[in-house]
Structure 1
Amino acid sequence: MSGKKFDLENRLVDFAANIVMFCKDLPRDITGEYYGNQLLRSGGSAALNFGEAQGTNSDRDYINKAGLSLKELKESRVNLKILTKVHYGNPNKIQELLDEVEQLIKIMATIIKNKQ
Structure 2
Amino acid sequence: MSEEKSSFNVSQEYEIIPHQKGQAYPIGVKEWEYLKNKIKEVNIQINNFHTIGYLLLGASVSCLITIIATDFANDTSKYLTWAIFGVTAICGLLAIYFAKDKHQQESAKPTEIVNQMELIESRFENKKK
User: Which protein is richer in helix relative to its size?
Assistant: 1
User: Which protein is richer in strand relative to its size?
Assistant: 2
Larger radius of gyration: 2
TM-score range, shorter chain: 0.3 to 0.5
